[in-house]
Amino acid sequence: MAQPTSTIRLDPQTARVSDSAGPGEKRKIQALLSLWLRELAGSEYPSLQQILDEVRQQAKARGLTPEMLDSIPKGA
């Protein structure tokens, strides 16, 4: 059974390093990239909505109201 492949865009310098790597080095790069991607996929990153909800709860716990937050000038 053939291994699946994936194409990833790289910056020019990284592409040169990858292209000039020998077969053994390419296997090491592939193994490291596979481990890194699996680690990223398996880790739990909060969604933007979860982050906003947490900030909203912390603001409320500190006595800030939506009106008070709206009164803060944008970019301040």
pLDDT tens track of the chain, all 76 residues?
788 888 989 899 999 999 999 999 999 998 988 888 888 777 777 778 888 888 888 888 888 887 887 787 766 5
3 state DSSP class of 70: helix
d(CA 37, CA 69): 39
Task: Please report the pLDDT score of residue 76 as a whole number.
Answer: 55
Residue 43 DSSP label:
S
Residue 62 DSSP label:
T
For the CA atoms of the chain, what is the radius of gyration? 23
For the entire predicted model, the pTM comes to 0.50
